[in-house]
């Protein structure tokens, strides 16, 4: 391979989101969809505990480093002109992930529901952390329908990215905690957004989504989210990919406060 250029860096919340080198690579390298397939298979094995944590870490690192390099071979992500135009107009990178709602719907008074310490994506026997923000809707009878509008509630992409994996087959009685989930890779941030507890999912692995595009509809899927004691909510997590290809949770609360709202 050979380096042929450099693109300009953009900063969002102190994270370098666009600095990369343009690299020409050979045709034998995996396609973006191949990385999605690898990620989906790996995450399913992690969830089902059919892979050891150490093996999962190695595979995850390989996938993420390869995916990062694959995007670095492009001057910009595909079909990203809409988000670039929005950034120029408003200076805001993120879209609030629940249509019709605001940061007032975030659990707690100051986002204190986030607990990143002790998080381990690869070992489900390690519990106690909550490296996410839960965002609640008005749904007193727990039927997935917004009490105010009488309509299902759309889950939106916080930023543009590649849909890496989805789950759509969760059924009541399953012990899987995430329910019907979606993973989206943002190549500018070099990180992963995780949207969990959805009722229906509207996207597919390998699909490029724009910031603000519908990903799913709000639901109550997941072992704990399905229980009546749990108010209807979106479980939103972001994992920053470190130089070694492994994930580190980041609190999205400041991003949510500044995100653009959608009616």
CA distance 108 to 87: 29
Residue 43: its pLDDT value, please? 95
Q: What is the pLDDT of residues 73-126, one digit of tens each?
A: 775 555 555 555 555 454 589 999 999 999 999 998 889 999 999 999 999 788
What is the per-residue pLDDT for 175? 84
What's the rounded mean pLDDT across residues 128-142?
95
Q: How many CA atoms lie within 13 A of 129 on its CB side?
A: 18
Distance CA 188, CA 193 (A): 12
pLDDT tens digits, 205-231: 999 999 999 999 999 999 999 999 999
- Identify which has the larger pLDDT, 84 or 168: 168
Predicted confidence band at 9 (pLDDT cuts at 50, 70, 90)? very low
DSSP letter at 103 equals G
Asked if the model's pLDDT at residue 13 lies above 80, the reply is no
The answer to whether residue 4 scores a pLDDT higher than 70 is no
Neighbouring residues of 247: CB distance < 8 A, sequence distance ≥ 6? 60, 64, 121, 192, 239, 240, 241
Q: Could you tell me the pLDDT band of residue 2, with boundaries at 50, 70 and 90?
A: very low
Is 231 buried (19+), middle (13-18) or exposed (0-12) by CB count in 10 A?
Answer: middle
Mean pLDDT to the nearest integer, 135-162:
96
What average pLDDT does this structure show over 160-189?
A: 94
State mean pLDDT over 52-71.
97
Is residue 260 within a helix (H) or strand (E), and if so which, with residue range? none
Q: What is the mean pLDDT of the chain?
A: 86
Q: What's the pLDDT tens digit per position in 20-47?
A: 333 334 456 789 999 999 999 999 999 8
């Amino acid at each position: 391979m050979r380096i042929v250029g450099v693109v300009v860096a953009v900063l969002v919340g102190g994270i370098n989101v666009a600095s990369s080198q343009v690299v020409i690579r050979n045709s034998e390298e995996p396609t973006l969809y191949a990385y999605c397939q690898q990620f989906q298979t790996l995450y399913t094995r992690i969830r089902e505990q059919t892979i050891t944590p150490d093996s999962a870490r190695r595979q995850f690192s390989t996938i993420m480093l390869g995916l990062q390099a694959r995007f670095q071979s492009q001057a910009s992500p595909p079909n990203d002109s809409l988000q670039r135009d929005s950034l120029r107009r408003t200076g805001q990178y993120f879209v609030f992930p629940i249509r019709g709602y605001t940061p007032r719907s975030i659990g707690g008074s100051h986002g204190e529901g986030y607990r990143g310490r002790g998080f381990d994506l690869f070992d489900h026997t390690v519990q106690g952390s909550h490296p996410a923000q839960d965002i609640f809707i008005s749904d007193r009878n727990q039927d997935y329908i917004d009490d105010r509008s009488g309509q299902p509630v759309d889950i939106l992409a916080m930023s543009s990215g590649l849909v890496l994996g989805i789950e759509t087959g969760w059924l009541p009685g399953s012990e899987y905690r995430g329910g019907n989930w979606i993973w989206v890779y943002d190549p500018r941030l070099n990180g992963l957004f995780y949207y969990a507890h959805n009722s229906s999912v509207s996207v597919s692995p390998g699909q490029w989504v724009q910031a603000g595009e519908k990903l799913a509809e709000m639901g109550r899927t997941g072992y704990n989210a399905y229980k009546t004691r749990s108010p209807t909510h979106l479980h939103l997590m972001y994992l920053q990919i470190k130089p070694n290809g492994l994930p580190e949770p980041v609190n999205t609360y400041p991003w949510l406060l500044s995100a653009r709202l959608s009616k």
